[in-house]
Amino acid sequence: MKILDVQSISRSFGNVKAVDNVSFSVSAGEICGFIGPNGAGKTTTMRICSTLELPDSGDVLVSGSSVLDDPRGVTRKIGFMPDAYASEQNTPVRDYLDFHARAQGLRGAERDKAMRSVIDFTGLDPLLDKEILALSKGMRQRAGLAVTLLHDPSLLILDEPAAGLDPRARVELRELLTVLAEMGKAVLISSHILTELSEICDVVAVIEAGTIRASGRVSDIQKKLSPDALYYMRCLAEGEALQRFLLEQPGVDKVRAEGHGCVFGLAGGEEALADLLGRAVNQDLRPMEVRPLAVDLEEVFLSLTDGVVQ
């Protein structure tokens, strides 16, 4: 079920086309990585999805509500966490959450319940009496996440939530998001640090200079980019022989030595791989290890974008 449906939105600021005919969608239970270099239009797209900015053309549907025609209906269903959280002075975490719960129209026992559940979920219990401004970056991020979860939105839009977090905090954030996805929420999360997305995202949308360069499952994108799958192969025979052998084979390209073995691309799927292995055995190369290489987001990203800065 599509929760977020972005339908060819465009938005310009003066001469800058910040977002140019962008379409993609995120389903329930899915974590979508929104990747692009600085100034690509990630924040603008996310702000349009959260009704904070209006598209010049196109529309965004959140569970069927349009950001243009029913912005209030949309804001009820989303939790948006901006890249920089505005600070509140003289406010302990408890009051901060209490205020946002009130602002979301939660009353009495309902409010207590909502607060209890987000506090338990984000583990803010020991910090409730600390002032927001005194929190560390990771903890403040948690408080921000707690606020966005208060009204139990079905779509979470997080703008660079992992920026500036240490590896440990990043792992914790990832775990939280995975749990949220398992609960059936759709999550859109932006970043230009790719490795932090590669392990949690089911799908990605790569944006550059306002246009979507690719979207879908990471492996699908990879396949579309280069139809060859990448493999690593190691033999008892010396590396050079293996390399020579691979270069002679049909359907093989991008051969390069790595460690004691070789990395190569191969078209034709598993059938072709089995044939190749058979020939390697016949030629007495004595193959010991063959494994498909995991798709590297970094590589996908670099091959998709060409460093245009706007």
Partner 1 sequence: MTLPDWIDDRFNPILVKEVRQALRGRYFKVTYGLTLIAATLVGIVCLMASDSNQDIGQTYFVGIYMCMAAAMMGLVPFQAFVAASGSGRGGRAELLQLTALRPRQIVAGRLLSSLVQSGLVLAALAPFLALSFLLPGVDLTVLVFVVVYTLIFSACVSCVTLSASFLTENRLLRVLLMVILGGFQFSLVSSAVAGVSEILRNSQDLQDIEAQVALAVFAGVAIFIATFAFIGGTLRISHPEENRSTPLRVLMFCFALVGMIGTYLAMHFVPHPEAEGFVVAYLALGFAMLLPAGIFSGEPERLGRRVQVTAPKNALVGLLVTPFMPGGGNGALFNLMILGTFGSIMMLFPTVDPDAGDAWVELFVFSFLWGVTAFNLPSALLQRWSKHMPVRVLSAFSPGLFFAATAMVPTFFGLMAGDRDWGDFEHPFCFPWAFERLTRDSYSNKEAIWAVALLMFVVTVLVNMPRMLRGLKEVQRVSRLRRENEARAKAEKAQEVSAA
Ligand X SMILES: Nc1ncnc2c1ncn2[C@@H]1O[C@H](COP(=O)(O)OP(=O)(O)OP(=O)(O)O)[C@@H](O)[C@H]1O
Residues at the site binding ligand X, with contacts judged by CB under 6 A = 13, 16, 18, 36, 38-44, 192, 310
Residue 44 site contact among Mg ion, partner 1, ligand X, none (CB < 5 to 8 Å, cut-off depends on kind): ligand X
226 and 66 Cβ atoms separated by less than 8 Å: no
* CA–CA separation, 130 and 92 (whole Å): 5
Provide the sign of the torsion angle of the four alpha carbons 154, 160, 164, 167, taken in this order.
positive
Nearest partner of 180 among 224, 215, 148, judged by Cα = 148
Looking at residues 43 to 102 of the shown chain, list those that interact with Mg ion (rule: CB under 5 A).
Answer: 43
Smallest gap from Cβ 61 to partner 1, in A, equals 15
- Give me the DSSP letters along 103-156: HTT--HHHHHHHHHHHHHHHT-GGGTTSBGGGS-HHHHHHHHHHHHHTT--SEE
The identity of residue 143, as a single letter, is: A
SS3 state of residue 193: coil
Smallest gap from Cβ 198 to ligand X, in A, equals 18
Site string for partner 1, 15-44 (x = CB under 8 A): ------------------------------
Smallest gap from Cβ 184 to partner 1, in A, equals 21
Site string for partner 1, 100-119 (x = CB under 8 A): x-xxxx-xxx----------
165 and 141 Cβ atoms separated by less than 8 Å: yes
- Phi and psi at residue 294, in whole multiples of 5°? -65, 145
Smallest gap from Cβ 13 to ligand X, in A, equals 3
Pick the piece of the chain touching partner 1 (CB under 8 A) from 79-87, 163-171, 211-219, 277-285.
79-87
Smallest gap from Cβ 49 to ligand X, in A, equals 12
Residues that bind partner 1 (CB under 8 A): 50-52, 54, 68-69, 71, 75-76, 78, 80, 82-84, 86, 88-91, 95, 99-100, 102-105, 107-109, 151
